[in-house]
Amino acid sequence: MDTAILLISCRDQKGITAAVTNFIYQYQGNIEHADQHIDSQSNVFFMRIEWSLKGFALAKPKIIAKFAPLAKKFKMDYSLYFSAETSRMAIFVSEVTHCLYDLLLKFKEKQLFCQIPLIISNHSQAKKIAEDFNIKFFFSQKNPQNKLSAEKKEIAILRKEKIDFIALARYGQIFTRQFVKAYHNRIINIHHSFLPAFAGSNPYRQAYSRGVKIIGATSHYVTEKLDAGPIIEQDIVRVSHRDCLEDLRFKGQDLERTVFSRAVRWHLEHKILVYGNKTVVFD
Amino acid sequence: MDTAILLISCRDQKGITAAVTNFIYQYQGNIEHADQHIDSQSNVFFMRIEWSLKGFALAKPKIIAKFAPLAKKFKMDYSLYFSAETSRMAIFVSEVTHCLYDLLLKFKEKQLFCQIPLIISNHSQAKKIAEDFNIKFFFSQKNPQNKLSAEKKEIAILRKEKIDFIALARYGQIFTRQFVKAYHNRIINIHHSFLPAFAGSNPYRQAYSRGVKIIGATSHYVTEKLDAGPIIEQDIVRVSHRDCLEDLRFKGQDLERTVFSRAVRWHLEHKILVYGNKTVVFD
Amino acid sequence: MDTAILLISCRDQKGITAAVTNFIYQYQGNIEHADQHIDSQSNVFFMRIEWSLKGFALAKPKIIAKFAPLAKKFKMDYSLYFSAETSRMAIFVSEVTHCLYDLLLKFKEKQLFCQIPLIISNHSQAKKIAEDFNIKFFFSQKNPQNKLSAEKKEIAILRKEKIDFIALARYGQIFTRQFVKAYHNRIINIHHSFLPAFAGSNPYRQAYSRGVKIIGATSHYVTEKLDAGPIIEQDIVRVSHRDCLEDLRFKGQDLERTVFSRAVRWHLEHKILVYGNKTVVFD
Amino acid sequence: MDTAILLISCRDQKGITAAVTNFIYQYQGNIEHADQHIDSQSNVFFMRIEWSLKGFALAKPKIIAKFAPLAKKFKMDYSLYFSAETSRMAIFVSEVTHCLYDLLLKFKEKQLFCQIPLIISNHSQAKKIAEDFNIKFFFSQKNPQNKLSAEKKEIAILRKEKIDFIALARYGQIFTRQFVKAYHNRIINIHHSFLPAFAGSNPYRQAYSRGVKIIGATSHYVTEKLDAGPIIEQDIVRVSHRDCLEDLRFKGQDLERTVFSRAVRWHLEHKILVYGNKTVVFD
């Protein structure tokens, strides 16, 4: 289906929904989905509205221009997307490949609405997988010494491939502040703990040492602060004294894939709005 | 907060949301919550919209009259509620009282927005509890022979107490078709299984015999067909071979309370729309 | 049923299980439950074994003496309990009473195998509840200035009432090191977060601020370090941007009761072994 | 690690555990894991005991002969396995391949202790996957007319490949009674509902029509009766009115893989005992 999607946020005030839905109705748009949320603490209004372009009286390139006065009036932050124009996603991965595989298989089964032109890794394991799925592979060896120059090359190829969005499918490297800025709210990571517990390295080992009875996984946007960005999705699985560290990894793996692919899918369908350090997910 | 709540359903068509939100905006209403859903299979539009009555330019008794033409135009089914006018809930219970206790305690802690003027039971256990919470208790002994006459008396007292809504807090009796009709979509039951599995009596025993690895609880509106009405909420807990029948009951009890009180709360807050044999829950 | 329960831990070595089960068999004991666990990291052996005293050829008071040589040979830490000799539990509570109510109702329904002779609180809300359930109420006003003397009085009454075990049913006060020592591994707390996340005060507010998508509850033994003792049980519930702080409290409340009562029940049934900062729960 | 595993079931009676553990101790075996369970309803004793063969004074081929008198005395059903002798698993699959992929990837990452010499399918999609993983592929076109002869060929190749165990990774065909008998308690299926709800075809469509708020997946041993065999593992995920049928499939897919691979792993590690229509899972 050919639809347009508007993501809007602004200070809450009377008449926003009426104005936006009138705008769509005025050009004979049929609303397919509409969700709104008011954060009453901060008095911010959020909206996601999706309408069919079939019979819509405005051509795609003219929508922004016609919507602009309304947006200005309410001082909106807004983005317009078209379902037919899929995002171009790059996947970064290190030596653990189950999350990479999961995205590729879901893509193949048409469950992720995107293009995947590029896989970047600091390990060689993913090369063969990239080949099997006919995706360009870029090997980027990184160490503390060459990080800046390595990232420069990564950004060059990301730009060349017109990448909109980066999925970190168990990627072990930390990006510089500049890199994160360049893809602000467009990098999603999967961390194998229920954040904020067990941030940093070896979360399963941390969980095992603490003796928790549940382990989790968290998918979040990447910010400058490690494992502290806006949380998109989390889930958990029960463990017991019978589970050794290896069992935690086995159980957690399924969790990581599930949580990660949900978050990636929501992002690709433009269902997430970030505000402060939180997300609104119109699932 | 003093708000008005509109629940709307009608055939999906262009301009509904615009019309409704314009209506509210026209009288200077500030929308607090708005949710809508389109069931694309049946092409039905659902909406729940809640706006502040502070500064709203229409007096409460005039809202319906002013809204009617719009409703007629779109052939809407709709209901209007005011948050300040709480429902009057009666609770039916048999000998197992944990769900009754839970509603009463949550009511006492101001987590259920209603009045509870009446408890009806075919057992005497609840009498003392009703007294402790200062609620009228009506003992209604029922058997297959006297069911119709007993229900007549129940309906008489329900009417006398102006009851809007009935919560079956583990009530072991089946109502007649007439009774159910009189309170159509206004009776919520808690069944101790994940329906449609294990409908009917002794669901824990059924679950134990089948050897399932999860047990559940389901809250649903009561219809003529036993345990087959529109499902509002469900949840589950894991069990294992280590759990005997008594353990299932212990674990399930917490589940029942949780699932039941969520469903009751959503109903009292006018967050549920029923269509066909399903529910839309704008949680 | 009249049973004996042995909880054993020692360095793992050959022949432990054979020795223990031979001991029971030698006196014609019939094993009802047996669980063992080896922590392979620390090479420690754990066992819980429960056998029927019906037809057991050793009188209760003689069991320890006869078992002692075997325990000495394997250098065991062990405890012997009899199912007929229920623990005496005191409940501490502050102004939030749903966990207190839950224990009392489960006790009344014979789902907690104990006696509850005493409720202690620094607030007056629980007084009426204690009276309703015919339990002695001790009001213990505490502040940083009088903490030591207040605890002295508490310990005096705990001793007078021969209390074995303390359940902190949402108790807002922190005990001194001495108090905790006096009831080492015999105080269970319920904390309303999935520890180690959101330790300390106002965990729901912390969770709300962080924007997590799941909230949790944790039951643990109390140690000197706040919210850092051995975890017994945890569980979670999903939340979303639609949930305000009050919704978190509503959802979390059911979680707290469930998690807390499971932990208390396991303790009362002698199903928990503590080692280091972890627990083995033979559920 | 090189271990021996005994799975035992027999009528409960005094001295079983003592006898078995004495047997192991007598030959200097070190017990690594021991679990037992008594089904008090049917008075049946179950045990799984695993001990290290390092330093065990009996050679592998002699264990059965030495254990036989003890087994006879207690009238045990028992099986002996060696961890070093991995099962040979065949995978049956139709056109939906995510469960197949999952087993193969987990096998590759050494999380499934088995050999996978054979994939059988009535569709061609799996052929390429089999090749990628270097596994023999057997195409077996089936229809109601040729079922018996097709199964004959399947059994021939299963025997030729010395297959111990069959995993039905979303296999759409129903086996004959004879086939099921030949692999009694050695065929595991994944069904995409929380059985006993929604047995048979199109469970997601059934769930969608019924309007449930949770969907599930169930892994079970295959018996003559469709979707009615002993349940090994189940899990669920929440859904809402916002989820269309396609969303149920997307969410369910992750569930299916997780539930299926857990069940397969437990079977391969000899952790499952079947009795009546139930399972004991010593996880």
Rounded Cα distance, A223 and A182, in Å:
11
Q: DSSP secondary-structure letter at A57?
A: S
Q: Tell whether the model's pLDDT for residue C143 goes beyond 90.
A: no
- As a whole number, mean pLDDT of residues C174-198 equals 97
Chain C residues with CB within 8 Å of chain B CB = 98, 101, 105, 109, 111, 132, 242, 250, 253-254, 257-258, 261, 265, 283
Residues of D labelled as active-site residues = 227
- As a whole number, mean pLDDT of residues B240-244 equals 96
Do residue B254 and residue C265 have CB atoms under 8 angstroms apart?
Answer: no
Chain C residues with CB within 8 Å of chain A CB = 37, 39-41, 194-198, 210-214, 216, 230-236, 240-242, 244, 276-281, 283
Q: Are D45 and D12 in contact (CB under 8 A)?
A: yes
Lowest-confidence region among B10-14, B156-160, C14-18, D143-147:
D143-147
Do residue A14 and residue B34 have CB atoms under 8 angstroms apart?
Answer: no
Determine the pLDDT at residue D144. 85
Residues C126-152 as b/e (b if ≥16 CB within 10 A, e otherwise) read beebbeebebebbebebeeeeeeebbe
Distance from CA of B83 to the nearest CA of A (A): 18
Distance from CA of B213 to the nearest CA of C (A): 15
Distance from CA of A270 to the nearest CA of D (A): 16
3-state SS string for D32-89: EEEEEEEECCCCEEEEEEEEECCCCCCCHHHHHHHHHHHHHHCCCEEEEEECCCCEEE
Determine the pLDDT at residue B186. 98
* Total Cβ atoms within 10 A of residue C42: 11
Token pair listed for B78: 């709709």
Residue-wise pLDDT for C109-141, tens only, equals 999 999 999 999 999 999 999 999 999 999 999
Q: Could you say which of C98, C258, C283 has the minimum Cβ distance to residue B105?
A: C98
How many Cβ pairs closer than 8 A exist between chain A and D? 24
Q: Could you say which of C40, C235, C281 has the minimum Cβ distance to residue A240?
A: C281
Q: Hunting for tokens 């370090």 — which residue is that?
A: C225
Distance from CA of C267 to the nearest CA of A (A): 16
Q: Hunting for tokens 């005293």 — which residue is that?
A: C53
- Which residues in chain A have their CB less than 8 angstroms from residue B14's CB? 25, 28-31
Instruction: Locate the DSSP E strands across A40-147.
Output: 44-52, 77-82, 87-93, 114-121, 136-139
| Averaged pLDDT of chain B | 97
Residue to substitute from C11, C21, C54, C73, interface D, most D β-carbons within 10 A: C21
The radius of gyration of chain B from alpha carbons, rounded to an integer in Å, stands at 20
Do residue D254 and residue A257 have CB atoms under 8 angstroms apart?
Answer: yes
The radius of gyration of chain A from alpha carbons, rounded to an integer in Å, stands at 21
Which of D170, D168, D242 is CA-nearest to residue D202? D170
Determine the pLDDT at residue C219. 98
Q: Which residues of chain A have pLDDT under 50?
A: none
Residue-wise pLDDT for B107-165, tens only, equals 999 999 999 999 999 999 999 999 999 999 999 998 889 999 999 999 999 999 999 99
Q: Are D9 and D38 in contact (CB under 8 A)?
A: no
Q: Tell whether the model's pLDDT for residue C283 goes beyond 90.
A: no
Token pair listed for A19: 């104005």
Q: DSSP secondary-structure letter at D283?
A: -
Determine the pLDDT at residue B162. 98
Q: Torsions phi, psi of A70, nearest 5? A: -60, -45
- As a whole number, mean pLDDT of residues B167-193 equals 97
Do residue D278 and residue B211 have CB atoms under 8 angstroms apart?
Answer: yes
Structural element, H or E, at residue A282:
none
Do residue B18 and residue A18 have CB atoms under 8 angstroms apart?
Answer: yes
Residue to substitute from A1, A14, A40, A214, interface B, most B β-carbons within 10 A: A14
Chain C residues with CB within 8 Å of chain D CB = 12, 14-15, 17-18, 21-22, 24-25, 28-36, 38, 40, 238
**By CA distance, what is B105's nearest residue in C?**
C98
Q: Tell whether the model's pLDDT for residue B283 goes beyond 90.
A: no
Determine the pLDDT at residue B226. 93
Per the annotation, the verdict on B227 as an active-site residue is: yes
The CA distances from residue A64 to A55, A164, D235, in Å, are 17, 20, 46
Rounded Cα distance, D161 and D155, in Å:
10
At D234, is the secondary structure helix, strand, or coil?
strand
- Which residues in chain A have their CB less than 8 angstroms from residue B15's CB? 25
Q: Torsions phi, psi of A7, nearest 5? A: -110, 125
How many Cβ pairs closer than 8 A exist between chain B and C? 23
- Which residues in chain A have their CB less than 8 angstroms from residue B34's CB? 17, 36
- Which residues in chain C have their CB less than 8 angstroms from residue D251's CB? none
Distance from CA of D83 to the nearest CA of B (A): 24
**By CA distance, what is C23's nearest residue in D?**
D18
Q: Give 10-residue mean pLDDT values along chain D (283 residues).
A: 96 96 97 94 96 96 98 98 97 97 97 97 95 96 92 98 98 95 98 98 97 98 96 98 96 97 98 96 94
